[in-house]
Structure 1
Amino acid sequence: MIKNYLKIAWRNLMKNKGYSIINIGGLALGMAVTLIIGLWVHDELSHNNYFKKKDRIAQIFQSQTFNGQVGTGPAIPRPLEFTLREGYGDNFKHLVMASWTTPLYLNYGEKSLSKEGNYMQEGAPDMLDLNILRGEKDGLRKINGIMLSKSVADALFGEEEPIGKVVKVNSQFDAEVTAVYEDIPVNNSFNDLQFILPWEKYLTLFEWIKNAEDQWGNNSFQLFAEIPENSTMGQVTATIEDVKKNESGDEAEFEPKLFLLPMKDWYLRSSFQNGQQVGGRIKYVWLFAIIGAFVLLLACINFMNLSTARSEKRAKEVGIRKSIGSQRSQIINQFLSESFLVTLFAFILAVIMVLLLLDGFNDLARKEIVFPWQNGFFWLISIAFVLLTSLLAGSYPALYLSSFKPVDVLKGTLATGKYAGLPRKILVVLQFTVSVAFIIGTVIVMQQINHAKNRPVGYDAEGLVQVPVMSTDFEGKYELMRSEFIKSGAVVEMSASSAPTTQIWSNRGGFTWDGKPDSFQEDIAWTEVTPEYAKSLNLKILEGRDFNREFASDSNAVLINETAKKYMGLTNPVGTFIKDEDIEDPFPPMKIIGVVQDMIAQSPYEPVKQGVYAFDKYGNQSFYNLRLNPDRSASENIAIIENVFTTHFPDIPFQYDFVDTEYGEKFASEERIGTLSAIFTALAILISCLGLFGLTSYVAEQRKKEIGVRKVLGASVFNVWNMLSKDFLKLVVISCFIAIPIAYYVMNGWLQDYPYRVLLEWWIFLLAVVGAMAITILTVSFQAIKAASANPIKSLRTE
């Protein structure tokens, strides 16, 4: 019986090839989009699956209140470790202090690499359950040891045995390779952990880290934890949340609260507003999951619409089947079999599409998704997916067509009635409601990105290059390198800074100044710079003056930005003295000598943070900022700079970044979302248009005799086009009225996550309406004009 059903279904598909192509093609396109989105969603949700203990690993976060606003982050003070170990040790299986991930230079023989890694306490390899390929898991016990990822070990040693080899680190010290571990896959935290150095070594390298042992206000470290199996994150958080408040003395005024952020939340739910966890990337997962579901729904609607639209052609078949004894259930099974065959063909075509498009999608989404050929669960889900889709797409046509009465059909008295086409109209409205909502959403996403992109950056990023100089080799070499770079002709100005141009690395408090309110809790971005900083960035001085090498007093001078002037409540800031209460006398107060234009160093979607630029008198330099010669090409300038660099630092790999490229990375996530949304919107519209094209073909075929009569009576091509088009345009207008309030509500909520955001303007919604109507007219017009231009004799001769 099933074989017979499938054979008849195949004959019907072959008999109506145009209809079959539209049906299978539209459904395949919808399924391909859903498959790609499904693979992307799975990849997002499987983040950190590499770590077997991810449900028990957490990072210690803290929230602090500044002037009524709660800020949350992972930076913690060093003494917190001792307090947790001594008073709350039973709540943890591991406590691991760590530095921030930073690039260091690794040298072996003539090979020199710049790789990223961390200083971590010895429990880190066990907590993360690293896969040790060579050496021992307790490789951090040796203060002069280093653990390397396999890729770094291969790059440094090739075929040599790495264990026991000595690597020079940052030209500061030698480290013996104690272990080689498997590279952590890309779709995981710590995937950039290319080496691990002992925490005890970190403590010996920098005086400020030693001094931080009892400084509760110095939030410069990370602390990771693993909780016991018989405990929960909530229980441990409840136990430790007030620890810092109780122990930190003066810090208690900021009302600090500690909590554990589980590893499973690091990637998808790491956003906080005013101390509350508000999600994060998970919103994009839900967004695309919903888009995938709707795109598949649109494809299924096409199938239902086209199947029911052809009901009159299949009506006699149903009537004959019923008259010779077929049960309604058998007819339902027949149509469901056709639906299954169409869905199966569509799925096979969809898989082919996914295989062809996956590499491009990976490039666009910055993923490394592979098609799960060997994943049995995927194929189980796929089978269920095909069955569910065939049931969803074929259920309505099957129930509708099987309900015809054979007597009415065979007598030719099948009355479709005034409302017979209502279900199809409802489905068309639903299709275009989704499409119009997608159009509005995509336009608003793109507008928000462009709104932030067009925001004044505050400095000239074009032709500005930054070079990392975080090695002892660079100490005391700034003046020499500045002279050499400028002498080369490739650089017109150069400065050094303690942080990159596009980031804030240090936030400080404890300042006083005349007029500061007693209860004011300051939180200021702190960057140390050389005197040429403003010149190298083309940073505009709005009040006062820039640093001047000729003035010895400028060693205790600072520049502030516009936001800091307002934040500190200073009407005439130039000449005001700032005192750092955390530093004892006789350290002199710092004098404000100028106000610079605000520059965006954090997210371009957020307000500029109040910042202070202090004269760098201790050589606290992390980056050289080079302004390239505009009279030469960038490639020529870089080649000259590299030659100068390698002449003075032959054992250090030359690295650089264009600041405008680094700044552009701040838009990368939103741009990817916007681009993907635009693509999926275009595909949703295409699917809707395929359905509309098929329906128009059916209507034109159904009314061809009416069109012939109208033309004989003098109707023009425009009259016939208007007759066939206006019904569909009415449905699209109804869709617009439904889609606009839905899109407004959803996108207005989405924009609330951005303090610096675009306004929802009326023209966006008008554009979507006009666009939808234009698409409808173009889709309908082809068949409408074709029908209107046909010779009426051909349609009337058949009577």
Structure 2
Amino acid sequence: MLKNYFKIAWRNLIKNKAHSVINILGLSVGMAVTILIGLWIWDELSFNKSFANYNRIVQVMQHQTFNGVVGTQNDMPIPMGITLRQDYKADFKYAVLSSWTGDHILTYRDNKVVQNGNYMQPEAPDLFTLKMVEGTRSGLTDPRSIMLSASAAKAVFGNADPINKVIKFDNAYDLKVSGVYENFAHNSELREVAFITPWDLYVDSEPWIKRASTRWGNNSFQIFAQLNPNADIDKVSAKIKDVKLKNIAAQGDKVGATFHPTMFLQPMSKLHLYSEFKDGVNTGGAIEFVWMFGIIGVFVLLLACINFMNLSTAQSEKRAKEVGIRKTLGSFRLQLISQFFSESILTAIFSFIVSLLLVQLSLNWFNNIADKTLSVPWQNPLFWIGGVVFSIITGLIAGSYPALYLSSFRPVKVLKGTFKVGRLASMPRKVLVVLQFTISVVLIIGTVVVFRQVQFTKNRPVGYNRNGLLRIDMRTPIIHQSFDAVRSDLIRSGVVTEMAESGSPLTGVWSNNSGFEWRGKPAGLQDDFGTIPVSTQFGKTAGWKIVQGRDFSKDFLTDSSAMVINEAAAKFMNFKNPVGEIVSNGKKYTIIGVVSDMVMSSPYDPVKPTLFPMLNQRGVVVNIRVNPNVSMHEALAKIEAVFKQYDPSSPFGYIFSDEDYAKKFSNEERIGNLAGFFTILAIFISCMGLFGMASFMAEQRTKEIGVRKVLGATVLSLWQLMSKDFVVLILISLFIAVPIGYYFMNGWLQDYKYRSDLSWWIFALTGLGTIAITLLTVSYQSIKAALANPVKSLRSE
């Protein structure tokens, strides 16, 4: 019986080729989208699960209350890590201090490469259960050692065995390779870590690290930990919540209602998906996008299923006699339902096969957009079992309404020729078309709003000129030691107009300080300023805008104890005329100028109050303003030649400031691109359904159109007649979709402090575009029917 069902289903597919192609293509596109989204969601939900002790690994974090506002951060003081290791051994198996990931120069013989890595304490390899390729996890016990990822070892040594070989680290230290580990998974917090060096090397190489080792107020590090098997994360968080508060008060720092640090543990399972906090409460994170794309996947598949339902029920008159004869010959309704379900399942299976081909062809492109390394698990039996189940469920959903509808026909009316589907029979199809385009319009509105928000923020005035601005990270002190000579040579070459050092790049604030005093500071006010030491030439290099006072100058020796502040800092200190005011933090600084607010951190947030004192040590970056009258290719070649002349041992690398700034939008742009991609496919699927429906209606109304043409109807009037029904349905969809789109996107925009508005033209343009797409889709069939020779359509009877 089952074999017979599928045999008849196959014959029906072959008989109605156009109908079958539309159904299979529509379903396959919908299933391909669902598979891609499913792979993406699985990757997101598997984030950090590559670590063997995933369920017990935590990151130490803190809530800090500043003037009644609670902020959350994972920046930690060194003494916190020491305290956890010494005083809470019963709760923690490991507590590991770590630097932030940064790039360093690794040199072996004549090969110099730049790789990202961290300084970590010796227990880090055991904490993160490194999968060793060579060596053991105890490789960080020697302070002059280094552990490399497999890719870093390949980059440095090629195919040679790296174990026990000595490399030069930042042209300053000889380190012995003690181990090679498999690259961290792409979907893990440590995916950029290509090497790990001992924490003791960090302490020995940087004097400020030694000073920070006892300071509870210096939050410049990370702490990862692993709980003991019997430890409860909530109870341990409660134990350690006041550790910093007590110790920072003991060191004499001010604490109280305006500044109150609270420590807590964030499990690794939440580091990626639940990374956002507001007022000390976890409000979500990437999990929101998981839900969003999951819903989009369901809707896109639903659109494809609606196409199947519509086209199948539209063919009802053609299948009516078949149903009548089958019932007359003794078929039960259940048997007819099984027959129609077998057709839909067969269609779904064919669609699944085509969808796999579409997924494989689009996977590289999809990975580039999504920043993933997804692949189809061809050899995983669970994937194939899931695929079969997925196809059957899709087939059952798509075939449910047609099976129930077609099997309900009464054989007496059908065979006597009195059967008519009636006007109400088309109502469910119209409802489904409205539902299709309601979903599509909401997706269009959402995509437009996301792209507009990104563009709106990109166009935000940043307070300096990014064009022609280069950033070069200083990994060695050589350029700093020869700064004046390097600057003179570059300016003399004509390719550079100015050059400066700074403690942070123009696209980030890497240092924050508090405890400043100034005239009129309210009692109990807790300050927190971004602090960026700069050299004299920084303002001219960046192109910042002086609104009060003056810029730094070598003509004033007193500028060594001066600072420039931004407008946000002047407002925070409540200075109307800040120039000449004294600000102190152990050292007294005189404010000599105020600059326009520069967007250096998140472009979606207000500008942070920032101080720019004079640089009295090596900066971390060199900023270079390229001559706008010189080609960038020529400029880079000459800049590299000068840098190589003074520092031949370091690889030359640079970052364009405008490209570095653009990276701040990468997450929103990635989400927008994915949403746009899925929206286009949703519209495509919906239009395929309209095309099929228009084709069927044109076929049904062939004789009517012939009569109208004989009576003098024009092609334009016939086109209007065929198109108006669809336009009415689209208008109903717009009436439903616009309020829904407004509600959800207005809520999404509220998460951004600097945001665009929901202009009326977004909805108007979406509506006009949807109507235009609809008319284009149905016009081919409408005009084709209108142009047909009426003699052929009328002579059949």
TM interval, short-chain normalised: over 0.9
Q: Tell me the percent identity.
A: 52
The answer to whether residue 497 in structure 2 is matched with residue 492 in structure 1 is yes
SS in 1 for 2:62: strand
The answer to whether residue 168 in structure 2 is matched with residue 163 in structure 1 is no
Contact preservation (8 Å) 2:479, 2:646: no
Larger CA deviation: 675-684 vs 448-457: 675-684
Change (3 A) 1:425 1:207: same
Matching residue's letter, 2:436 = Q
Q: How does 1:250-289 map to 2 (within 5 A)?
A: 250-253=253-256, 254-289=259-294
Q: CA deviation at 1:197?
A: 1.4
Residue by residue, what CA displacement relative to the aligned partner does 1:179-236 show, whole Å, maximum 9, x if unpaired? Answer: 2212213222212222211112222222222222331111111111101122332222
Matching residue's letter, 2:548 = E
Matching residue's letter, 1:694 = G
Query: Normalising by structure 2, what TM-score?
Result: 0.97
Q: How does 1:705-720 map to 2 (within 5 A)?
A: 705-720=703-718
Match of 1:504 among 509, 525, 550: 509
Q: CA deviation at 1:761?
A: 1.6
Contact preservation (8 Å) 2:43, 2:187: yes
Contact preservation (8 Å) 1:171, 1:472: no
SS in 2 for 1:256: strand
SS in 1 for 2:785: helix
Residue by residue, what CA displacement relative to the aligned partner does 1:248-275 show, whole Å, maximum 9, x if unpaired? Answer: 2035331111111111222221111221
Matching residue's letter, 1:545 = R
The answer to whether residue 395 in structure 2 is matched with residue 395 in structure 1 is no
Match of 2:481 among 476, 480, 503: 476
2:757 paired residue number: 759
1:594 paired residue number: 593
Residue by residue, what CA displacement relative to the aligned partner does 1:261-305 show, whole Å, maximum 9, x if unpaired? Answer: 111222221111221111112222211111111110000000000
Matching residue's letter, 2:683 = I
SS in 1 for 2:220: strand
Q: CA deviation at 1:164?
A: 2.2
The answer to whether residue 537 in structure 2 is matched with residue 532 in structure 1 is yes
1:781 paired residue number: 779
- In 1, the alpha carbon distance for the partners of 2:133 and 2:783 equals 71
2:130 paired residue number: 130
The answer to whether residue 375 in structure 2 is matched with residue 362 in structure 1 is no
- In 2, the alpha carbon distance for the partners of 1:171 and 1:711 equals 87
The answer to whether residue 173 in structure 2 is matched with residue 173 in structure 1 is yes
Contact preservation (8 Å) 2:548, 2:594: yes
- In 2, the alpha carbon distance for the partners of 1:596 and 1:63 equals 31
- In 2, the alpha carbon distance for the partners of 1:793 and 1:246 equals 96
Residue by residue, what CA displacement relative to the aligned partner does 1:474-518 show, whole Å, maximum 9, x if unpaired? Answer: 442222221222222221110011111111101110001111111
2:3 paired residue number: 3
Aligned residues: 792
- In 2, the alpha carbon distance for the partners of 1:274 and 1:477 equals 47
SS in 1 for 2:48: coil
Q: CA deviation at 1:769?
A: 1.4
- In 2, the alpha carbon distance for the partners of 1:82 and 1:35 equals 47
Give unmatched runs, 5+ long, in structure 2. none
1:666 paired residue number: 664
Match of 1:621 among 607, 619, 628: 619
Contact preservation (8 Å) 1:528, 1:620: no
Write out the 4+ residue segments of structure 1 that deviate beyond 3 Å after TM superposition: 158-161, 472-475
Match of 2:303 among 298, 304, 311: 298
SS in 2 for 1:701: helix
1:567 paired residue number: 572
Matching residue's letter, 2:604 = Y
Q: How does 1:127-526 map to 2 (within 5 A)?
A: 127-249=127-249, 250-253=253-256, 254-526=259-531
Q: CA deviation at 1:143?
A: 1.9
- In 2, the alpha carbon distance for the partners of 1:748 and 1:242 equals 39
Matching residue's letter, 1:328 = R
Q: CA deviation at 1:436?
A: 0.7
Q: CA deviation at 1:2?
A: 1.9
SS in 2 for 1:218: coil
- In 1, the alpha carbon distance for the partners of 2:127 and 2:394 equals 44
- In 2, the alpha carbon distance for the partners of 1:475 and 1:58 equals 39
Contact preservation (8 Å) 1:217, 1:251: no
- In 2, the alpha carbon distance for the partners of 1:352 and 1:215 equals 59
Q: CA deviation at 1:748?
A: 1.2
2:610 paired residue number: 611
Contact preservation (8 Å) 1:470, 1:621: no
2:637 paired residue number: 639
Q: CA deviation at 1:632?
A: 1.6
- In 1, the alpha carbon distance for the partners of 2:381 and 2:638 equals 56
- In 1, the alpha carbon distance for the partners of 2:154 and 2:430 equals 64
- In 2, the alpha carbon distance for the partners of 1:326 and 1:129 equals 64
Q: CA deviation at 1:366?
A: 2.1
- In 2, the alpha carbon distance for the partners of 1:502 and 1:304 equals 53
2:18 paired residue number: 18
2:113 paired residue number: 113
- In 2, the alpha carbon distance for the partners of 1:277 and 1:478 equals 46
Q: CA deviation at 1:106?
A: 1.8
SS in 2 for 1:314: helix
SS in 2 for 1:529: coil
- In 1, the alpha carbon distance for the partners of 2:8 and 2:412 equals 23
Residue by residue, what CA displacement relative to the aligned partner does 1:404-441 show, whole Å, maximum 9, x if unpaired? Answer: 11101101112323311111111011001001101111
Q: CA deviation at 1:798?
A: 1.8
Matching residue's letter, 2:109 = G
- In 2, the alpha carbon distance for the partners of 1:290 and 1:88 equals 44
Matching residue's letter, 2:454 = I
Match of 2:556 among 547, 551, 556: 551
SS in 2 for 1:255: strand
Matching residue's letter, 1:621 = G
SS in 1 for 2:424: coil
Contact preservation (8 Å) 2:496, 2:626: yes
Query: Normalising by structure 1, what TM-score?
Result: 0.97
SS in 2 for 1:60: strand
Residue by residue, what CA displacement relative to the aligned partner does 1:361-394 show, whole Å, maximum 9, x if unpaired? Answer: 1222222212211122211211111000000001
Q: CA deviation at 1:87?
A: 2.9
Q: How does 1:702-741 map to 2 (within 5 A)?
A: 702-741=700-739
Matching residue's letter, 1:54 = Y
Larger CA deviation: 259-268 vs 168-177: 168-177
Contact preservation (8 Å) 2:512, 2:528: yes
- In 1, the alpha carbon distance for the partners of 2:749 and 2:618 equals 39
Change (3 A) 1:642 1:216: same
- In 2, the alpha carbon distance for the partners of 1:796 and 1:236 equals 85
SS in 2 for 1:558: strand
- In 2, the alpha carbon distance for the partners of 1:427 and 1:154 equals 57
- In 1, the alpha carbon distance for the partners of 2:782 and 2:135 equals 75
- In 2, the alpha carbon distance for the partners of 1:366 and 1:358 equals 11
Matching residue's letter, 2:255 = A
Larger CA deviation: 21-30 vs 131-140: 131-140
2:653 paired residue number: 655
Matching residue's letter, 2:794 = L
Matching residue's letter, 1:520 = L
